[in-house]
Amino acid sequence: MKKLIAGNWKMNCSLEEAKLLIADVINGVYQNQALQGDNEFVIFPPFIYLPTVRHALGNHTFISFGAQDCSPHDKGAYTGDISASMLKDSACTYAIAGHSERRKYHCESNADIKAKAEQVIKNGMTAIVCIGETQEERDGGRAEEVVQKQLFESLPAGAHARNTVIAYEPVWAIGTGKTASETDILMMHSFIREALEEKLADAENMRILYGGSVNPENGPGILKTPNVDGVLVGGASLKAQDFLAIAG
Shortest distance, CB of residue 116 to ligand 13P, whole angstroms?
A: 15
Residue 241 one-letter amino acid: Q
**Which residues contact residue 126 at a Cβ distance below 8 angstroms, ignoring those fewer than 6 apart?**
66, 93, 94, 95, 120, 162, 163, 164, 165
Shortest distance (Å) from residue 76 CB to ligand 13P: 29
Minimum Å distance from CB 100 to ligand 13P?
Answer: 7
Which residue in 99, 108, 133, 189 is the catalytic one?
Answer: 99
60 as an active site residue: the answer is no
| CB nearer to ligand 13P: pick between 75 and 243 | 243
What residues contact residue 193 under an 8 Å CB cut-off, 6+ apart?
Answer: 203, 204, 208, 227
Give the nearest distance from C-beta 232 to ligand 13P in angstroms. Answer: 4
Question: Closest distance between ligand 13P and the C-beta of residue 211, in Å?
Answer: 4
User: Do residues 34 and 61 make contact, with C-beta atoms less than 8 angstroms apart?
Assistant: no
**Judged by CB, which is closer to ligand 13P: 158, or 220?**
220
Nearer to ligand 13P, 72 or 212 (CB): 212
Minimal CB distance to ligand 13P: which residue? 234
The vertex-70 CA angle with 128 and 142, nearest 5°, equals: 50
The distance from CA 167 to its chain's CA centroid, rounded to whole angstroms, is 6
Is 169 tagged catalytic? yes
**In the complex with ligand 13P, which residue's Cβ is closer, 165 or 236?**
236
Q: Strands (DSSP E) along the chain, which ranges?
A: 3-8, 39-44, 63-67, 94-97, 126-131, 164-168, 208-211, 230-233
Residues near ligand 13P (CB under 6 A) are 8, 99, 169, 174-175, 211-214, 232-236
Nearer to ligand 13P, 43 or 233 (CB): 233
Residue type, 39: N
**CA distances in angstroms from 244 to 3, 35, 68, 167, 207, listed in the order given:** 12, 8, 20, 19, 20
Q: Are 44 and 22 in contact (CB under 8 A)?
A: no
Catalytic: which of 101, 118, 169, 189? 169
As annotated, the active-site residues are 99, 169
